[in-house]
């Protein structure tokens, strides 16, 4: 499937606007990304797409047999719809405003998120992933590190800025479901160590 482009390396703040990447570049990004991103890239590039046209265009891993490929792509599209990135109506799919924003962020050329003004809240990601899915667990850790999270306890990671969209798409992208919990904490006792760590 090629080299996976980490979510964390392509997120930007909302003020950056639309990317000017070429169509061929977008195609390469879609080919090398995971399923949720592939769908977003295809919809962002083409606008509204009929489902019977969209699903055959989603390149899936060769390990997924032909019988299950359509159902797998449908489930991923359903996940994106539940999370507000995609709207499906009349057998057609289109990005929502949230999805279009995320698409433009994915195409941005910056390598890391723009530092935001801290709102005084802490974001925590907690996960419990079985040992048999060790590769998924390791990938999740790498994504969190790339985005700027810091490990505070075993399988507990902290971040000071808004990152709800990143976590939502990450859950969909690596299919962890209830194995990952996202918390926003307004008041944290004795957070001096974290404040010093993140310089907030």
Give pLDDT, residue 40: 84
pTM above 0.75, yes or no: no
Give pLDDT, residue 16: 35
Low-confidence ranges of the chain (pLDDT < 50): 1-23, 25-26, 29-32, 62-64, 109-112
Spell out the domains of the chain, with CATH numbers in brackets. Answer: 7-106 (1.10.10.10), 122-198 (3.30.70.240)
Q: How far apart are CA 38 and CA 33, in angstroms?
A: 6
Give pLDDT, residue 30: 47
| The token pair that represents 150 in the structure block | 């810091």
- Does the CA dihedral 70-91-7-181 come out positive or negative? negative
From its phi and psi, is residue 177 left (phi > 0), alpha (psi between -120 and 50) or beta?
left
CA 52 → CA 40, 104, 129, 155, 170, distances in Å? 16, 25, 34, 40, 26
Give pLDDT, residue 63: 44
């Amino acid at each position: 499937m090629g080299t996976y482009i980490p979510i964390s390396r392509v997120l930007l703040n909302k003020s950056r606007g639309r990317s000017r990447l070429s169509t061929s570049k977008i195609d390469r990004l879609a080919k090398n990304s995971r399923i949720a991103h592939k769908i977003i890239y295809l919809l962002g590039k083409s606008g509204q797409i009929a489902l019977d046209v969209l699903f055959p265009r989603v390149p899936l891993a060769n390990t997924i047999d032909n019988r299950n490929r359509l159902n797998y792509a449908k489930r991923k599209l359903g996940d994106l719809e539940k999370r507000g990135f995609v709207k499906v109506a009349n057998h057609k799919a289109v990005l929502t405003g949230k999805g279009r924003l995320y698409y433009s962020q994915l195409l941005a050329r910056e390598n890391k998120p723009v530092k935001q003004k801290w709102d005084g809240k802490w974001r925590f990601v907690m996960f419990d992933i079985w040992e048999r899915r060790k590769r998924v667990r390791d990938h999740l850790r790498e994504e969190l590190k790339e985005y700027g999270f810091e490990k505070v306890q075993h399988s507990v990671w902290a971040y000071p800025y808004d990152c709800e969209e990143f976590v939502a798409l990450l859950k969909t992208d690596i299919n962890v479901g209830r194995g990952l919990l996202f918390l926003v904490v307004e008041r944290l006792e004795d957070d001096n160590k974290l404040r010093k760590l993140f310089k907030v």
